[in-house]
Structure 1
Amino acid sequence: MCPHAHRHSIFCLVPPYVLDKIAQNGTPKQRAAALRTKSLDNTFRALRLATQAARFAPARSAVATAVGMLGKRRTIYNASNTQNLPGTPVRAEGQGATGDVAVDEAYEGLGATFDFFAEVFDRNSIDDSGMALDATVHFGDGYNNAFWNSVQMVFGDGDGEIFKRFTIALDVIGHELSHGVTEDESQLQYFNQSGALNESLSDVFGSLIKQFVRKETAEQADWLIGAGLLADGIRGVALRSMKAPGTAFDDELLGKDPQPSHMKNFVHTFEDNGGVHINSGIPNHAFYQVATRIGGHAWEKAGRIWYDALRDPRVRPNTGFRRYARITDDVAGRLYGVNSTERQAVRDGWKAVGIDL
């Protein structure tokens, strides 16, 4: 697939509305860190580096594909609390643990994500052509975020008061790298419903990667994104809940989780790129509904339906929830039969969030 025109410079994990709440409610130190983080995020979003558009192009060559067949190619860099990217290489593919927990968590998380896409979907890395996986840890001073910038993963250490290190949650790593998969397979605009769908797809695959590593069934999974990321004393369990959107946190500093789980509560806003991190709760909950209705390991059937739908040529730049739902319905019928329980689960799952096919 050719590089896409609608390429975005950064996909951050922590939504801007959370940073806004911290900037309003935090201590002077916390407010300063939140504003600094948001300023960095906005700067990265404004950048349109020439290397972004070219990043996927070399991987499409026969040479790159041949190299990619060798398997994982991970490199972890240390920014040493500066904003220099990528930083100093500290662990390469095949090297042993360093003892730096952030370095080693990033290394293992990149590997788990590669293995998931390879074993479940027969996908050769993020671009399906053996793309090397690079990540930088210890980025910035108390940087409260993690992001994918179309070139690599970047992890902040968190401030220790609100957020712990951003390598701590496997689904965070999977979420961000999955933005690269979506970026490679579709041209979903990062705005309004198509942007919320983009965010939801990363939550879906991030959660599935965690479930795959833990060998959990849909019923056993916690369906949380970023569990363990919130620091001690923060009233919350994660950044988002796919099982119960709107319940992940309720804290005087962070505010209350604003995600809706049903179209009747869809949030109309121009903030957060039209609510991409907020309204993603609706397709997130639809996937949870589908996966638990089908049962078993969610990556085997529900995940396959969502992945094949992402790759469907009918996914357009402005694809919204209903169009994507109809594509998943068609895919389920093709994979498992028009009268299958899997297809009915897809229809019932979308209906549960207010989307009739």
Structure 2
Amino acid sequence: MRREGQGLTDDLAVDEAYDHFGTTWDFYFEVFARNSINNAGMSLDGVVHFGEGFDNAFWDGAQMVFGDGSGLRFTRLTRSLSVCAHELSHGVVQFDGPLIYQGESGALNEHIADALGAMVDQWSKKQSAEEADWLIGSEILAPGVTGKALRSMKAPGTAFDDDVLGRDQQPAHMDDFVRTARDHGGVHINSGIPNKAFYEISIALGGFSWERAGRILYTTLGNPQLRPTSTFRQFARLNHRVAGQLYGPAGRESAAVEAGWKAVGIQV
């Protein structure tokens, strides 16, 4: 329907996806000097109008897929930059991690995609960590749904409480870690814990989240010591070590990372 450099189409979903792909690509190139999702110039391909009333968007390992929503839970998934950037960032995790999509490592996979998705959204709006709402998917909830987004990194567990969607189950502290066999061991639920930690780190450091907090997170993802089965504590310790390597072990950044993880019940 639309290739790089071509003009607008008569399909809003196509044009929204095209714009979000461009913004996400620009973010990775300008902020992290990354050449596309795989850092080797991979083309960004996407399919829209997937299925019928499909309430989801996903990265399938090679391209993006967007549903139009059922109108009961979600609307057109291409409406949200944070959702698109989140899903494309699963590709970044795929090429730089990977983190096995199960249990705590799977929740870290979701967390990193959320954090990067939020950064892309904030970067596009030139918002500081303090100014941002830290919501993922605020644009896609269907009319009548009681909620504000799919997830809140600032306040996990508060994104929605609705008869159709149910209640947001995300915990914000290890004391409330959810043990379940569903959702690959709760990857979309327990990601609230590292999400909250990243929010706290970003607020403590101030300024733009993609600068120091984001660089520490991105560098942690690409660190050779990251294991496919990393737990929250292992990731937090590596996150803290990377902060020290980038900015000095006695620096403000290291202290912020330590405090951020401590706030969610994890000692580094």
Match of 2:256 in 1: 345
Structure 1 length-normalised TM: 0.74
Distance in structure 1 (CA, Å) of the matches to 2:226 and 2:149 = 30
Q: How much does 1:187 deviate?
A: 2.5
| Percent identity (aligned) | 57
Q: How much does 1:297 deviate?
A: 0.4
Distance in structure 2 (CA, Å) of the matches to 1:195 and 1:318 = 8
Match of 2:54 in 1: 143
**Map 1:1-357 → 2, pairs under 5 A:** 90-357=1-268
Distance in structure 2 (CA, Å) of the matches to 1:165 and 1:356 = 40
The CA deviation string for residues 327-355 of structure 1, in whole angstroms up to 9 with x for no partner, is 11111111111111111000000000000
Distance in structure 2 (CA, Å) of the matches to 1:250 and 1:188 = 30
* Structure 2 residue matching 1:245: 3-state secondary structure: coil
The CA deviation string for residues 1-40 of structure 1, in whole angstroms up to 9 with x for no partner, is xxxxxxxxxxxxxxxxxxxxxxxxxxxxxxxxxxxxxxxx
Q: How much does 1:102 deviate?
A: 0.5
Distance in structure 1 (CA, Å) of the matches to 2:98 and 2:152 = 26
For structure 2, list consecutive stretches of 5 or more residues without a partner in the other structure. none
C-alpha RMSD of matched pairs (Å): 0.7
Distance in structure 2 (CA, Å) of the matches to 1:196 and 1:162 = 23
Query: Which aligned segments of 4 or more residues in structure 1 are displaced greater than 6 angstroms?
Result: none
Distance in structure 2 (CA, Å) of the matches to 1:173 and 1:271 = 24
Amino acid aligned to 2:83: V
The number of equivalent residue pairs is 268
Q: How much does 1:159 deviate?
A: 1.3
- Which of the pair has more CA radius of gyration? 1
Q: How much does 1:99 deviate?
A: 3.0
Structure 2 length-normalised TM: 0.99
* Structure 2 residue matching 1:276: 3-state secondary structure: helix
